Amino acid sequence: MNDIINRFKIQAKPVSCERYGNGHINETYLVVCENGKRYILQKINNRVFRNVAGLMANIVAVTEYLGKLDPDPRHTLHLVETVDGAKYTGDDSIGYWRLYDFVEDSICLEKVESSEDFYQSAVAFGMFQKQLSGFPADTLVETIPNFHNTIDRVRQLNEAIADNKAGRKDEVGPEIEFALARAEEAGCMVRMLEKGELPLRVTHNDTKLNNVMLDNVTRKPLCVIDLDTVMPGLAANDFGDSIRFGASTAAEDEKDLGKVEMSLDLFEVYAKGFISACGDSLTDNEIRTLPMGAKLMTYECGIRFLADYLNGDVYFSTHYPGQNLDRAHTQFKLVADMESKWDAMSAIVKKIAER
């Protein structure tokens, strides 16, 4: 690995390089140098992210923009240049590699340990949204084209139903019925964007708690990490994906659906943090559609799981037969629960935004 590390302008001789973190897409390593300086080395998964040059151009543009707004080195990721002055190195034969300065004196949580942690993650993603509100979103590349295009996601589901590649269609009739009953509504925010009723924003698109670095003493947010999916999108989608993941009371593949609901308390905690951080940079329509973002991101994830189940489990990794169907069930249960709590969700957002 030293031949890769030494392509970068590191401060001292590397003495160790070990696998780091729990990421499932890229390979991540912690590099320690003899003077104690630490770095994060990553091999970019170019099977998932096929346009590596575009992806890296996005990260460079966004991190440099954030760095100019806030000079604190812990408040955004910092890429280390190669000896040739580039921001990454490699090719198809050895892979594509980048190096970041390690964010010192920080922690990264895999799950919510308290409502305060969830609140602080909301502040982090809200600040990310606010700081980039002046960035020209349309200059960024779509690292995964149509990632949150819910109209296209419904099209993919319909294609999976028609193809029935794994011969499973007849066993998931109720699930298909549930999904298609909401297909028209699924495109509402895409259509609002097309009509100019929602602005295009720089969005993170993977707003999980473990993509926020917190100070290890104060547990206040330092910066947002895992910027591979930063691209043009809708603010409500970033908000919604956090709710889908963080406000659920059960695991993503929970078999006992009686345990699955969206916690209104956690929804309110996150909404307070997010709106307090970026509410003044959002339009009225963006704030109004925050609950819809939660519902649609959950619905989108559910139909992706269902489509993959129909296709024979070819996209999402599974650890047992039927796991993708279990995942679809939990997402659809969350959607139904949100529908039953819709007035309360909307009232919470309105109350917080009016303060």
Four-way CATH pick for 2-104: 3.30.200.20, 3.90.550.10, 3.30.70.2740, 2.60.40.10: 3.30.200.20
d(CA 209, CA 211): 5
Whether residue 22 is predicted with pLDDT greater than 80 in this model: the reply is: no
Query: Under a CB-based contact definition with an 8 Å cutoff, are residues 239 and 274 in contact?
Result: yes
Best CA proximity match to 287, nearest among 234, 251, 246 = 234
115-353 CATH, one of 2.40.50.140, 3.30.360.10, 3.40.140.10, 3.90.1200.10: 3.90.1200.10
Average of per-residue pLDDT across 157-167: 98
The model's pLDDT over 222-268, given as tens digits with 9 standing for 90+, comes to 999 999 999 999 999 999 999 999 999 999 999 999 999 999 999 99
Is residue 14 within 8 Å of 31, Cβ to Cβ? yes
pTM for the model stands at 0.94
Delimit the domains of the chain by residue range.
2-104, 115-353
What average pLDDT does the chain have? 96
Contact status, residue 337 vs residue 321, Cβ threshold 8 Å: no
